[in-house]
Amino acid sequence: MRTSVSKSPTRGTRIAAASGALVVALSFASTTAAFAEVKDNGGAARNDSDNTASLRASIADGPAKNVILLIGDGMGDSEITIARNYAYGAAGQLPGIDALPLTGQYTTYSLYKDGANKGLPDYVPDSAATGSAWATGTKTYDNAISVDIDGTPQNTLIELAKANGLRTGNVSTAEIQDATPAVQVAHVGARSCYGPDSASCGADALENGGLGSISEQLLDTRADVTLGGGAASFSQTAKAGEWKDLTLNEQAAKRGYQLVGDVAGLEAVTEASQEKPVLGLFTAGNFPTRYAPTTATVGGANSAVTCQESAGRLPAELSLSSLTDKAISLLDSDSEKGFFLQVEGASIDKRDHSADACGQIGETIDLDEAVQSALKFAEADGNTMVIVTADHAHTSQIVDSTPPTSLSTAVTTVDGTVMKISYGTAAAGGSQQHTGSQLRVAGYGPGAANVVGLIDQTDNFFTIANALQLNRDLSSLSASASVALQKATFAPGEDLAISVAGLSGDRQLTGVIQSEPVNVPKTDVLNGTAVISAQAPTELGEHTVTLTGSQSGKVIEARFSVTPDGNPLPQPTDSAAPPVAGGIGGGGTGAIGAGPFAITGAEAGPLVVLAVLITALGAALIIRRRRQHSAANS
């Protein structure tokens, strides 16, 4: 699916049309409720008029400057209905989730990794496979984080958005290493590879030559804003690589991250960028839930309860809606480049696994409030797409009577009546299962019409990538990269300042200085640039700095000389030009070199023409002399 950009409306037109459609959507429930009761003819109707015009107005062509993707983990249609019934009544409306004007459904199946069924549908997926699908556009196997069924890493929306110059954010109420936030920042074969101490990392561990644990790769991916739980993994110590023997917290600080862990720290943050990314970790593990648990039992639906606020709930400033507001405020800027933000309400799934009706209801309400925050921004901005969906369906079902053998709970809703909820895929104390049904996906803003109808989870990747006009070819984004030194000749051991530019498709680089081989440490590339400090070799003669982009594979080189005193050696008048300090690499029409002695393509053109003319003149003189010689001998 592709978003049409041929007739893109103006910002003002988008604001007027899309905002009007959102207002109409928000007004449906209130207008019908004001004039009738549900017992009356038409009293339960949600449409109070012909909505053709408002639906038409809600369709805006892309591209979009910004995209906000909100995920309710485990939030199937049943979980949405349960939360709506409890908090707003059967005829009510969730102010955020139900307000988006464009709605579709998508399929969520994963794939078998190996064996006779390799590559065939696995009908009930997990959060790792489903998240990888929308993050990369590639279906994979359960347990995999943004790798395909053969283990090959797949570029994610956050990685691609960064490479294209957009700001990026990742917010969750789970541990930030959990599957849904992890799929945007890491590539591992086992979702439990949280930190350097995780035994499940296997070949993905740094010490085994892999990309590292999810937490370590998160630091490499370097989203501008990361907010959630999971602080415990960052107290672990790196076992290999450039930051060996440092904790991940210490590593993050050395790499320029702004580390925050409480409300005061978060409120003090006023900017986020590649130079100063924000890493906010507010709990050791997952966030506490909004409502205290009400664990289902066999026969439990025979008596109804009312959900109670959890005593351990975090302050309002750390609610999912507050974190969404904070992330948007840090990512939004006057730059022509926009942002991509993923927000997850994580514990709908976790409480569903635990047959905890009040827990999952509270987490759905929390997500709905975050959706309201996103829509408020999008409506004012006029150039932001909002997509709200889930990763997979879950167990909970609204039932008519207390089931005789399965777990159940009953809650008293805002309607004043009792709603009975059954959990029938595991016994008491077990983990309730995911289910394989299709899910709601809803959208608002430029390009959001691509969610309508029956689509697949992977379509979300292309809808978002196309709306943001992302160039997905990292090699092309780094094709014009160059490297330069501050001069062409150095004394032995003198400081080198290696400057890199144009490496936009990469997040890190590595390299070597030779003739005496000295490895260049893995270095973060920020907005396509990097500055590396090194020392010139002690060996006299010509040397080369060779750098390689870790993601694109782009190779760039700079040549320099080492002399006893750091001054250029005297050159005979007819000798070749001295070596230049600068980048050379495949493709493009950029500079030959980039240092003080560099010759650009524009400067070299006239010299080439002059050389051709001189050669042609010489050839003409030779021909003339031969003709004269032939005439004299004839």
Q: Which residues are annotated as a binding site?
A: 73, 178, 180, 344, 349, 353, 391-392, 434
Residues annotated in a binding site for Mg(2+) = 178, 180, 344
| Sequence letter at residue 125 | P
Residues annotated in a binding site for Zn(2+) = 73, 349, 353, 391-392, 434
Say if CB 223 and CB 278 are below 8 A apart: no
Residue 511, SS3? strand
User: What distance in Å separates the CA atoms of residue 349 and residue 497, rounded to the nearest whole number?
Assistant: 50
Which two tokens mark 226?
């990361």
The 3-class SS string of 377-424 reads: HHHHHCCEEEEEEECCECCCEEECCCCCCCEEEEEECCCCCEEEEEEC
- Contacts for 313 with CB less than 8 Å, ≥ 6 apart: 288, 289, 290
Q: Regarding beta strands 555-562 and 541-549, do their DSSP bridges make them parallel or antiparallel, or are they unpaired?
A: antiparallel
User: What distance in Å separates the CA atoms of residue 164 and residue 136, rounded to the nearest whole number?
Assistant: 15
User: What distance in Å separates the CA atoms of residue 296 and residue 410, rounded to the nearest whole number?
Assistant: 9
Per the annotation, the verdict on 273 as an active-site residue is no
Residue 104 bridge partners (DSSP): 441, 453
The 3-class SS string of 554-589 reads: CEEEEEEEECCCCCCCCCCCCCCCCCCCCCECCCCC
User: What distance in Å separates the CA atoms of residue 164 and residue 172, rounded to the nearest whole number?
Assistant: 24
Say if CB 278 and CB 258 are below 8 A apart: yes
Task: Quickly list DSSP for 342-370.
Answer: EEEE-HHHHHHHTTBHHHHHHHHHHHHHH
User: What distance in Å separates the CA atoms of residue 431 and residue 14, rounded to the nearest whole number?
Assistant: 45
Dihedrals φ, ψ of 150, to 5°?
-100, 5
Among 80, 38, 49, 69, which residue's Cα sits nearest to residue 171? 69
User: What distance in Å separates the CA atoms of residue 299 and residue 99, rounded to the nearest whole number?
Assistant: 36
Among 284, 372, 282, 275, which residue's Cα sits nearest to residue 328? 372
User: What distance in Å separates the CA atoms of residue 219 and residue 129, rounded to the nearest whole number?
Assistant: 22
Which two tokens mark 89?
């009544």
Q: Regarding beta strands 384-390 and 278-281, do their DSSP bridges make them parallel or antiparallel, or are they unpaired?
A: unpaired
Helix (H) or strand (E) holding 340: strand 339-345
Helix (H) or strand (E) holding 127: helix 127-136
Among 358, 338, 292, 372, which residue's Cα sits nearest to residue 94? 372
Which two tokens mark 624?
């003339």
Q: How far is CA 193 from CA 73, 142, 186, 278, in A?
A: 20, 14, 10, 22
Catalytic residue among 19, 58, 78, 127: 127
Neighbours of 51 (CB within 10 A): 17
Say if CB 506 and CB 549 are below 8 A apart: yes
**Catalytic residue annotation:** 127
